Amino acid sequence: MPESKTPAGAADDTAAAPPAGATDDAMVVTPARATPPGPPRRGHGRRRGRHPPAATDDVEAVTRAVLTASRLLVAISARSLAAVEERVTLPQFRMLMVLYTRGATKLVTLAEQLQVAPSTAMRMVDRLIAAGLADRQTNPDNRRETLLRLTDEGRGTVENVTARRRTDIAAVVARLTPAQRTALVEALTAFSEAGGEPLAGLPDDSGPHPLGWPAAAVTEA
C-alpha cells in the first residue's frame, strides 16, 4: 500500500493532538494574575533619624508621667521622715506642717485643713502632744476656745525633715539640663495651680507649706 504524504505547508494535526485520556480542560491556558503591590516595608520612604516626640496633649500620657514622678517624690518624702519615723507617722507630719504654716489653730479649723473629722484630728493631736511635738493653749481672744500649736521640738522636727527633703529634690533637679529645669518649673507650677496648691517657700522664707494631700491620705485612727 502506498504511503500517504502530507502536502507541504499543511498543519500536522497529529502533533497538536492531546495524549490519550487527556481532557479538554487541560488545554485551557489560564492567564497569570497580576500580583498586587504589597504594603511598603517598614522604614521604606521614611527619613532616617530620630522619630519626632510623641504629642503631649494626651491626658493619659501626662497622668502616667505625673504618677511616675510622684513615686519618686513619695520615696524622697519617706527617706526624709526616716529619722523621725518612730515618733511621727506621715499623716501626723501632715498635721505638723499645717500647724507650722498657720501657727496656733483651732481644732475645727485644723480638721478642715486636713479634710478629716474633728474626732480624727483630736486623736492625732493627742498623740502629737504625748510625743512633745504640740500643745494646747487658751485663745487670748476667746477664753472658751483652745488653740493648738507646735512646741519648739515640733517646729524643729518640721524644719529638719523639710531640709532633708529639699536637699534630695535639689540633687535630682541638678541632673537636668537648664532647658529641662525651665520646662519642669513651668509644668509643675501649672499643675500645682490646677490643683489649688500654693507654691512652696524659698529656703529663707517663713517655712514650708503643707502638701495638698487628699482626705484619703489622712487616715489616722
Where residue 145 falls among pLDDT bands split at 50, 70, 90?
confident
Residue 217 pLDDT > 50, yes or no? no
State which amino acid sits at residue 66. V
Between 11 and 144, the more confident residue is: 144
Mean confidence (pLDDT) of the chain: 75
Where does residue 81 fall: left (phi above 0), alpha (psi -120 to 50 degrees), or beta otherwise? alpha
Per-residue model confidence as pLDDT tens digits over 92-138: 999 999 999 989 999 999 999 888 999 999 999 999 999 999 999 88
Per-residue model confidence as pLDDT tens digits over 161-209: 999 999 999 999 999 999 999 999 999 999 988 988 777 665 555 444 4
Measured from the Cβ of residue 207, the count of other Cβ atoms closer than 10 Å reads 14
Residue 214, pLDDT score: 40
Residue 64 pLDDT > 50, yes or no? yes
Residue 11, pLDDT score: 46
Residue 41, pLDDT score: 52
Where residue 87 falls among pLDDT bands split at 50, 70, 90?
confident
Mean pLDDT of 208-221: 43
Q: Are the CB atoms for 95 and 128 separated by under 8 Å?
A: yes
CA dist., res. 179 & res. 94, Å (int): 33
Measured from the Cβ of residue 107, the count of other Cβ atoms closer than 10 Å reads 17
Residue 19 pLDDT > 90, yes or no? no
Question: Cell numbers of 210, please?
Answer: 503643707
Determine the Cα angle at 31 with ends 25 and 32, to 5°. Answer: 125
Where residue 3 falls among pLDDT bands split at 50, 70, 90?
low
CA dist., res. 101 & res. 105, Å (int): 10
Residue 153, pLDDT score: 94
Per-residue model confidence as pLDDT tens digits over 32-57: 455 555 554 544 444 444 444 555 56
Half-sphere exposure of 100 (CA within 13 A, CB side): 26
DSSP summary character for residue 144 = E
Residue 1 pLDDT > 80, yes or no? no
